[in-house]
Amino acid sequence: MIEKPLLILDFDGVIVDGIKEYWTSSRQTCLNILSSQEKEIFLPNEMPKTFKTMRPWVHHGWEMVVLAAECSDKASKLNLKGLKKFSKNYSKECSSALNRWGWKPSQLQEALNQTRREAISNNFNQWLNYHQPFSSVVQRLQILEKEGIEFAVLTTKSIEFTKKLLNSFNLQPNLIFGHESGSKIDVLNQLLHKRIILGFIEDRRTTLEKVQEDPKLSSIPCYLASWGYLKPQDRKNLPSGIKLINLEIFKEPISNWP
């Protein structure tokens, strides 16, 4: 067991707001993989409001590519059924959209990764500027080590791109876990055998609920980031093991957190 306690944070929506990059990369990925006939759908440079509103439902990067295509096709279920109905059966609707477009998640994820690699290679500074770090979060993490606390980043983004962004924010977490590392539940179970975990901060309520449902993880304090990508109902009626945390509380010593 390593003595230094560990704070674990999700990345996109907790440390950084990457919604602009998500649209830009997802849009370009669509353009790269659509046939010439399919490219007749209108993919605007400006992010559609529906795309941004759907962000809290997204779990994996490839889903953003599906949403970009669905937002931009007038005949899609997202546009025909409306956001409320689509989000209510989000996983099922995403699967249906995959079949409609003839895509596979692994294909989309790799295509998205390649789009990002090209963007980084062609204009790294522009790619960085599409990400807006939450400055008060970054500042807090930069002084965390002075309190004898280490931090880890646990994200569904790839480690490759997460590291580049963290370096640009002058953040050096002790550990980084990406989608290549397995599910967040599996990673937390592995870490719990090695570390004292002071808390897990996430902006996805369903992920925190899964942590709470795992009896082996019940000792981990769970925090829902109020500044992240939250669904309209996420703040209401939280289970007792999940605490809503805002930026003011985050600035305080962890011993003062609820």
Question: Domain residue spans in the chain?
Answer: 2-17+132-256, 19-127
Q: Of 19, 41, 230, whose CA–CA distance to 130 is shortest?
A: 19
Which pLDDT does position 146 carry in this prediction?
A: 87
Which pLDDT does position 37 carry in this prediction?
A: 59
H/E run at residue 177: strand 175-177
Query: Which fold would CATH assign to domain 2-17+132-256?
Result: Rossmann fold (3.40.50)
DSSP annotation of 157: S
- Cβ pair 9, 15 in contact under 8 A: yes
Per-residue pLDDT of the chain (258 residues; tens, 9 = 90+): 678 999 999 999 999 999 999 999 999 999 999 876 566 667 888 999 999 999 999 988 999 999 999 998 888 999 998 999 999 999 999 999 999 999 999 999 999 999 999 999 999 999 999 999 999 999 999 999 889 999 999 998 899 999 999 999 999 999 999 999 999 999 999 999 999 999 999 999 999 999 999 999 999 999 999 999 999 999 999 999 999 999 999 999 999 999
